[in-house]
A and B are shown apart, each in its own frame.
Chain A
Amino acid sequence: DGGITQSPKYLFRKEGQNVTLSCEQNLNHDAMYWYRQDPGQGLRLIYYSQIVNDFQKGDIAEGYSVSREKKESFPLTVTSAQKNPTAFYLCASMVPGELFFGEGSRLTVL
């Protein structure tokens, strides 16, 4: 089935460690996105990429990094510089008119 696969679904890490969240899509979409969802805050854009080898910062990019070496893959690294990394992370891809979301990755930093 076509869709977006995020892994892992749950992740626990110690403070100070970098963490990479995986996002893979087989929808052949050019544009991909990372959002962070916190209770009462809605979805806030971290990074997005409209084409391979290119990406732009969103509203809350500090402490995060991404790469887009392949069309189907858009991994997100949560670095130790991110002050409040515990959150639910959503990856999405878009065709004109609609965002398709993965099931999310819940990161807890202990």
Chain B
Amino acid sequence: AQSVSQHNHHVILSEAASLELGCNYSYGGTVNLFWYVQYPGQHLQLLLKYFSGDPLVKGIKGFEAEFIKSKFSFNLRKPSVQWSDTAEYFCAVKGRSQGNLIFGKGTKLSVKP
């Protein structure tokens, strides 16, 4: 069965610090990978996605993620966080032949001004 593991439940950073949120998945076939973000009081929105090609994917608001197939990982990064990045971040995976996305448990990011 597919599963997604996010390593950190809650990350606290100061503004301008670098961010890396871990995500590992288990699935035997070809996958599509996603990071979603939920800002306080707002609906979930797509940060970035990987389908194929360049394993380094750039998303909105300066976020990027790298797909490392050998490690079954899709970690999210940002060189310098801002207070406005405070949110909950969800990694998700979809097997190519599957009809639904499987989500991780989420990582809350708190950025101190």
Are A56 and B102 neighbours in the complex by a CB distance under 8 Å?
no
Q: Which residue of A lies closest to B91 (CB)?
A: A42
30 A-B interface contacts by CB (under 8 A): A31-B99, A41-B105, A42-B6, A42-B90, A42-B103, A42-B106, A43-B90, A43-B92, A43-B103, A43-B106, A44-B103, A45-B101, A48-B100, A50-B99, A58-B100, A90-B43, A90-B44, A92-B44, A94-B101, A97-B49, A98-B49, A99-B34, A99-B36, A99-B44, A99-B46, A101-B43, A101-B44, A101-B45, A102-B43, A103-B43
Q: State whether the Cβ of A104 lies closer than 8 Å to any Cβ in chain B.
A: yes
Scoring A residues 56 to 98 as 1 if CB is less than 8 Å from chain B, else 0, what string do you get?
1010000000000000000000000000000000101010011
Interface residues on A, range: 20 to 34
Interface residues of chain A: helix, strand, loop or mixed (majority): strand
Number of A-B contacts (CB under 8 A): 51
Interface residues on B, range: 20 to 34
Interface residues of B (CB under 8 A from A): 4, 6, 9, 32, 34, 36, 42-46, 49, 51, 90, 92, 99-106
